[in-house]
A = this chain, B = another copy of it.
């Protein structure tokens, strides 16, 4: 189930995020891209070059989201489904809504 205090402690050790350091590395890189874009706008770099950077950053962010979503299905949704009951219904509905937000954004 999600979350009991014990789960929560456990999660900090073997949490649902498969490789926290890798996600943090990718998010720091995305933060750097956001800073780089500010420099490009401040210097009025050529618009198409700025847009190319925005597309790269969007794809990097999308890739982080898809990784996290996979981890979520693989841990929280899987555990809830195995336990069954209304918790399973709720987790599946919640995951579907998050997927819809990603597909539409």
Chain A: residues with CB nearer than 8 A to chain B? 2-3, 11-12, 15-17, 20, 23-24, 27-28, 30-31, 34-35, 37-38, 41-42, 44, 46-48, 50-52, 54-55, 57-59, 61-62, 64-66, 68-74, 76-78, 81-82, 84, 88, 92-96, 98-105
Q: Report how many copies the assembly holds.
A: 4
How far is it, in angstroms, between the C-alpha of A2 and the C-alpha of B71 when the chains are bound? 22
Q: Are B92's CB and A74's CB within 8 A?
A: yes
24 example contacts (A-B, Cβ-Cβ < 8 A) are as follows A15-B44, A23-B41, A24-B38, A24-B42, A47-B72, A48-B72, A51-B65, A51-B98, A51-B101, A51-B102, A54-B61, A54-B102, A55-B65, A55-B102, A58-B105, A62-B105, A73-B73, A73-B95, A77-B77, A77-B92, A78-B81, A82-B84, A102-B103, A103-B103
Q: Provide the bound-state CA to CA distance between A65 and B73, in Å.
A: 18
